[in-house]
Structure 1
Amino acid sequence: MLENNLAFAQKLDGADPLHGMRNQFHIPRHQGHDEIYLCGNSLGLQPKRTADYVDELLKDWQQMGVKGHFAAKHSWLPYHEFLTEASAQLVGALPQEVICMNSLTVNLHLLMVSFYRPSKERYKILIEDHAFPSDHYAVESQLRFHGLDPKEALVLAKPRAGEDCLRQEDLVELIKREGKQLALVLLPGVQYYTGEVLDMAAISEAGHAVGATVGFDLAHAVGNIVLNLHDWNVDFAAWCSYKYLNSGPGSVAGAFVHEKHLGQTLPRFHGWWGQNKSIRFQMGPEFDPIPTAEAWQLSNPPILSLAAVRASLDTFMAAGGMHPLRKKSLELTGYLRWLLEQELGDAIHVLTPYEPRRHGAQLSLTVKLHGQSAKQVQQKLEDQGVTCDFREPNVMRAAPAPLYNSFEDVWRFVQILKKTAQG
């Protein structure tokens, strides 16, 4: 049975096998105390090993110059390969299916070059209504690039009237209805605004059944929920690494291409880092793509940023990967939701679905506190050492990340929120 008191929260922390992972992160401070940081869905905290990994590169650059490409402890030339195995584990992929490169929207564009090939009969793209703006912009620009009008070629999946989240049966029905004209289904693994987890396996199956290609934006899913992209038969996916992956602001993103597409002749924008490694430095004019997801690379990557990604991935591996983290995440969010119901009742409405399979670490809250908006409440919380975030028009997102957040964090957050609600 759950209890609403500090001693119980501390008891849960004492029994948590992952509680020590918190010590591997730098926690921001507020008036001499650790912040209650519930914003890992926007920017994850810095692992303590990050500085060592980046400093190693800086010293090698300082002492070796260009020779660091081959002679550094972690040579720069193959540096992205040091991230492959852990990245594959986090997204449920084969090593040859993943690559760390570019930024999220760049990767989505590069992948759509290959996987959005409209014809006269099949040309529509399905995304969700209220998609993350960058995704919406990218898809509309792809449609226009192919001479199509988004008003005719863009299909929006919407919640039912009066509801906050998408229903799986409605998504499948929409895919079936648009089937003959549907070229691409591009949806999030976790919807950024509501925190809803979509059934990616079922969506992939439904899309393929009507002849469409299926891709996912995993910005809010990777490092948050257990993924099995290969087994789900997803065609492609892309993600950023600075949210739950804790790799630093604007850090290098990732991409997935299913094994069934590797080695095929696909439309693709080429660059020299996608060239066959055995002949790359012969500098010839003919392009021979690497037979893995690495073929989608364009330029040699920013090594300093990759070092931060490697530090984060090593931290995930030290925690045992996603399965134990997901278990703790469900316990944290379950306790948070229960406390909100106990302390604030109808003053808080949780948009995020209740069922564990349908939510990740994030709970999206609408606030009805004596005329205060969610934005006003979020600012007052920040003044008291609580960091969460706000999204227009009236949603506050709180995301206890299992790598560094505690049950005490969750309990104290709700107590401060209650105090703020009472003015």
Structure 2
Amino acid sequence: MSIASLVLVMSFAAAPGSGSPGCRGALAAGEVVRCALAASPGVRAAQYGLEAIEGRKLAARTVLPSNPQIQVTAAARRGLWNGDRDTNVYGQFSQEIEIAGQRRKRVRVADAEHDAQRRRVDAVRREVAAEALTLYFELIAARQQRVMVERMAVGAATMQELAGASAKAGLGSQFGVDIAATTVIRLHQQQIEATRRIAGATALLAGLLGQDPARPELEVVGELAPLAVPEDMSVLAERALARRAELDVARAEREVQLRQAEVYRRMRAPNPSLILYGQRDGFNERVLGGGISLPITLPAPLGRSYAGEIAETRARARQAEAELERLQRVVLAEVAGAVKTLQARREESSLFDVDRLRRAEEHISALAQEMATGRVSIREAVLLQQTFLDLLAAAIEARRAHAVASVELARAAGLLPEIVQ
């Protein structure tokens, strides 16, 4: 086992679900991705697959195709005419030898398989990073949503109290009280929903980080801002075709099949066996000798010519070529769609001006005072409050969608997880 593999195994020797000691408490986006990659069983499984292929590479480097064979036999002899007795002892040593470069071809196949598995590790890492970042932004958005609703609920409760007092004084009706109460109920409902979203995202993110979802020990910090992803379509398409691990896996799979076909072709060559023998024959006769044995190659289907294996590997190579072409089309479509989505989300997010959102919060806070002085009726106050609340909630959702769209573009372009590390 290599030093890197040993370090990898030791790093994951902790008990399942324990998580990394440095992945608790307040975590920024980069720390969330790092911890998710460190705790991911999927990444670990892919790494172990890489170690398995390293063992296959070790087997492919074996010099001899088979172990040497030693044969010893003994026989009792008796003279036909005189009845003399003696014992004959025979010994033979044989060793098969490859002469057509099969070992070199097997090593090349193992190298190609190793490269394919390494690309699979990269693909798993990218998907884990994208999932972690999506949950990270979902958690921040839900938390901001709850803070906003809790802050607005104070003004709604004040409006309800004023409506009740006005009805008792004969200056209002129960209709106005019920309208104000409806707003309070709606805000409480939004608060419950935001709390549910926070709990759900926290549990999923804790599980991704190797913690107990029922008792998470994490808190995300940061802004609900998109990743700094370039939006040049040609540049992103070029990067995606060069960096998407799925494409590299398909290329490596094709190379594996082509090299395996070469191995089968070389295996058609007969491997000679070197033979050395010695025997004590007759009456005290000692014989030493040697020779070479060659297997007889028979054509298929009478003998084993590897024609079927060669045909299969060639077909699988063409299959991998077609799969590579399909994946290239999928990747380009994903990049194009992700760019358009990000641009649309950015345009949508830009509609919510910071100053306008701040004034909306100020208006909600001032509605109770406006209603108390009689400048705004209860019905108008409730309608205005709901309008401003919808504006604030839509702004948070637009920022969340913008951030998630940037994660999807980074994933499609093969920029994860490096872009946040």
Q: Same fold (TM over 0.5)?
A: no
Query: Greater CA radius of gyration, 1 or 2?
Result: 2
More helix by share: 2
Q: TM-score, normalised by structure 1?
A: 0.17
Q: TM-score, normalised by structure 2?
A: 0.17
